[in-house]
């Protein structure tokens, strides 16, 4: 059942123009005001980029540690061996294992949000690639989730590291926090993410790179942001 929209929210909707390009500060304020769900909604950005992800050299993909965190409790699984198991546990990994964990995943267990693996285990992790891959959970050295320093990788994921990649039609969807974040925290995360996306512009991309940018909460409306303020 949809929550009944109160009078204040109705007034905000009357003054909201979905066709207008708002300044960053206006958009960050408005996105929280327009949120009406009872739960702490995620605040997400949607970049429309002038790239063709069908070409490997125009696939925008990476990971960034948001300075204000994500506001989400991330369950981190580490697949490793030897002394690295202790490193992962001390860094705060929720579960650490080797062959036993791989067998558990093969049996259907998927109670985790991120997977980190040490290079020596990737041959075995490949056995569960068909399970992890479609869910965006396969460890990848480009994203820092295949590494010798599993302790550091765990700390980064727990602190608020988010991954981003170009979807069809050059769209990148990525979270930058929660509606409960104060303005300063949300602005820091916004600036960090925009900077990462802009720096990732491939040299082969022609024409306008940042075509449009909008912000919304999980259940809220999309608010267009003036890209001239960014570009």
196-205 pLDDT, tens per residue?
999 999 988 8
79-112 pLDDT, tens per residue?
999 999 999 999 999 999 999 999 999 999 999 9
DSSP per-residue string spanning 171-183? EEEEEEEETTS-H
CATH number for the domain running over 18-69+161-229 = 3.30.190.20
Per-residue confidence (pLDDT) for residue 124, from 0 to 100: 96
Domain residue spans of the chain = 18-69+161-229, 76-159
Per-residue confidence (pLDDT) for residue 13, from 0 to 100: 73
Q: Count of residues for the chain?
A: 231
Residues lower than pLDDT 70 in the chain: 1-9, 11-12, 231
Architecture of the CATH domain 76-159:
3-Layer(aba) Sandwich (3.40)
Per-residue confidence (pLDDT) for residue 5, from 0 to 100: 55
Per-residue confidence (pLDDT) for residue 209, from 0 to 100: 94
DSSP per-residue string spanning 46-104? EEEES--TTSGGG--EEEEE-TT--SS---EEEE--TTHHHHHHHTT-SEEESHHHHHH
Q: Name which of 130, 97, 90, 137 is nearest 113 in CA terms.
A: 137
């Amino acid at each position: 059942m949809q929550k009944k929209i109160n009078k204040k929210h109705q007034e905000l909707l009357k003054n909201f123009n979905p066709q207008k390009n708002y300044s960053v500060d206006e958009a960050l304020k408005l996105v929280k005001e327009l949120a009406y769900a009872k739960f702490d909604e995620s605040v997400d950005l949607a970049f429309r980029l002038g790239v063709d992800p069908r070409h490997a050299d125009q696939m925008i993909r990476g990971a960034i540690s948001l300075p204000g965190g994500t506001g989400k409790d991330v369950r981190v699984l580490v697949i490793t061996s030897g002394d690295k198991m202790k490193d992962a546990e001390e860094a705060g990994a929720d579960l650490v294992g080797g062959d036993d964990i791989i067998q558990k995943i093969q049996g259907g267990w998927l109670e985790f949000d991120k997977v980190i693996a040490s290079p020596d285990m990737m041959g075995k992790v490949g056995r569960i690639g068909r399970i992890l891959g479609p869910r965006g959970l396969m460890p990848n050295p480009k994203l820092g989730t295949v590494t010798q320093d599993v302790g550091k990788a765990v700390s980064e994921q727990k602190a608020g590291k988010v991954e981003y990649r170009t979807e069809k039609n050059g769209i990148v969807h990525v979270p930058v926090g929660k509606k409960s974040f104060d303005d300063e925290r949300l602005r820091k995360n916004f600036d960090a993410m925009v900077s990462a996306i802009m720096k990732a512009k491939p040299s082969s991309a022609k024409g306008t790179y940042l075509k449009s940018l909008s912000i919304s909460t999980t259940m809220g409306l999309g608010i267009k942001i003036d890209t001239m303020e960014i570009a």
